[in-house]
């Protein structure tokens, strides 16, 4: 995310952030994960980290080893392992190895999940989050930790907080809904539980970018990456989670030669006693030796981050929800960025 862009009237900026502004991002700063398995809804939490959680289905047995850096989990499919190594959490499952890490970037942080030989990147700063998924590319815009609007391959939405009625109005290109946020304080747990009551319009699950997190699930284990958004998204149910499920027919991990296994940040070695992990290809990295590389070709031809090409945007593109009314309209409008200019403000 470089330069500045106007996306259907929504202004996103990825300029370098002042250190003071990162205070809003403090809850996501990497830290030590929990070493105690605790129940969370219908699951048991194995790892509780700043970026989210690693869970197993309720009823699993969790044994902690090596001061909470390695777990043996007994599930209905047998035993699997969860280990921490080189900044990664690694899930050694039957048919694949799942990896997740959080690292600092120039403007914030990034969570990377490697799942079924694909990379899912969530780039974060206090006001903007970006999804770079194999099947979706989306931007989320926040103000004071509250979701304001979002746009991506699957549509767009805008959130308006009605302070007088104490409700939230969610609008998309085709519908509008109003929700009342209900709160319940749990004194013993010292926390507040949120839920949504629909006042009018469609259910919350009708909006693909009204989410509280992203879930990757396989072999009774789940990696859950949480999203910000305030009370509105905190009150979402299970339909407010983008889910990627390996399913029963998940393909096995490719075979590899341990002696020649690549080492490095994208292929971390396993913890002591677990052996090296198979190197998995990074689909987002171009291969300079391959002239047909998808990434190299994309860089030469794609003019915008959502791969919409050089479409002319209608005059009403200042409204994120009206940008698609015309037959020749585009969802997003990217301002041409001149690296030699002193002011590229839209």
Q: What are phi and psi of 67, to 5 degrees?
A: 55, 40
| Within-domain flag for 314 | no
Whether residue 334 is contained in a domain is answered as no
As a dihedral over the C-alpha atoms of residue 236, residue 239, residue 241, residue 244, rounded to 10 degrees, the angle is: 170
Q: How far apart are the first and last CA of the chain?
A: 16
Candidate from 57-66, 99-108, 193-202, 283-292 with smallest mean pLDDT: 283-292
| Mean pLDDT in residue range 105-123 | 96
C-alpha span between 191 and 324 (Å, rounded): 42
Residue 286 has, within 13 A of its CA and on its CB side, a CA count of: 13
Task: Give backbone dihedrals phi and psi of 242, rounded to 5 degrees, phi first.
Answer: -70, 120
Share of the chain above pLDDT 90, in %: 49
Distance CA 154, CA 135 (A): 10
Give the rounded distance of the alpha carbon of 287 from its chain centre: 26
Residue 50 burial (CB < 10 Å; 0-12/13-18/19+)?
Answer: middle
Residue 327: its pLDDT value, please? 47
Percent of the chain whose pLDDT exceeds 70: 59
> 């780039």: which residue's tokens?
123
pLDDT band per the 50, 70, 90 thresholds, residue 167: very high
Q: In terms of pLDDT, which residue wins out, 20 or 122? A: 122
**Averaged pLDDT for residues 45-55:** 95
Total domains in the chain come to 1
Q: Does residue 164 lie within any of the structural domains?
A: yes
Rg (CA), the chain: 22
Residue 25 placed within a domain: yes
Task: Say what the pTM is.
Answer: 0.62
Range of the domain at 107: 4-260
Residue at 331 is within a domain: no
Answer whether residue 332 is part of any domain.
no
Mean pLDDT for the stretch of residues 97-124: 96
Residue with more model confidence, 282 or 96: 96
Encoded tokens for 297 = 């070709």
Q: Is 9 inside a domain boundary?
A: yes
Residue 17 covered by a domain: yes
The pLDDT value given to residue 100 = 98
- Separation CA 174–CA 107 (nearest Å): 34
DSSP calls for 32-84: PPP-S-EEETTEEEEEEETTEEEEEETT-EEEEEGGGTEEEEEETTEEEEEEE
pLDDT at 319 over 60: no
What is the pLDDT, as a whole number, of residue 77? 84
- Contact predicate 95/246, CB 8 Å: yes
């Amino acid at each position: 995310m470089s330069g500045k862009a106007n996306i259907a009237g929504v202004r996103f900026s990825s300029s370098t952030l002042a250190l003071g502004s990162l205070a809003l991002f403090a809850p996501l700063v990497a830290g030590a994960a929990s070493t105690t398995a605790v129940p969370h809804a219908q699951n048991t939490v194995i790892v509780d980290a700043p970026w989210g959680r690693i869970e197993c289905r309720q009823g699993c047995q969790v044994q902690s080893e090596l001061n909470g850096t390695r777990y043996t989990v007994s599930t209905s499919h047998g035993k699997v392992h969860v280990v921490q190594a080189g900044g990664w959490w690694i899930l050694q499952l039957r048919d694949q190895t799942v990896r997740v890490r959080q690292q600092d970037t120039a403007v914030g942080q990034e969570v990377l999940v490697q799942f079924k030989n694909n990379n899912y990147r969530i780039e974060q700063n206090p006001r903007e989050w970006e999804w770079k998924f194999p099947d979706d590319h989306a931007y989320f815009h926040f103000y004071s930790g509250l979701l304001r609007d979002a746009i991506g391959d699957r549509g767009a939405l805008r959130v308006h907080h009605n302070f007088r009625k104490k409700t939230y109005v969610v609008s998309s290109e085709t519908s509008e809904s109003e929700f009342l946020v209900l709160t319940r304080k749990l004194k013993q747990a010292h926390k507040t539980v949120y839920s949504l009551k629909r006042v009018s319009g469609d259910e919350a699950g009708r909006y693909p970018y009204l989410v509280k997190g992203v879930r990757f699930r396989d072999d009774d284990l789940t990696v859950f990456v949480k999203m910000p958004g305030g009370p509105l998204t905190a009150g979402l149910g299970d339909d407010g989670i983008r889910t990627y499920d390996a399913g029963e027919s998940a393909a096995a991990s490719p075979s590899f030669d341990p002696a020649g296994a690549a080492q490095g940040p994208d292929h971390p070695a396993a913890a002591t006693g677990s052996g090296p992990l198979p190197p998995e290809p990074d689909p987002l990295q171009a291969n300079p030796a391959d002239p047909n590389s998808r990434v190299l070709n994309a860089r030469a031809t794609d003019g915008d981050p959502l791969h919409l090409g050089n479409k002319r945007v209608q005059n009403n593109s200042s409204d994120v929800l009206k940008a698609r009314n015309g037959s020749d309209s585009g969802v997003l409008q990217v301002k041409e960025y001149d690296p030699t200019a002193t002011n590229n403000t839209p």
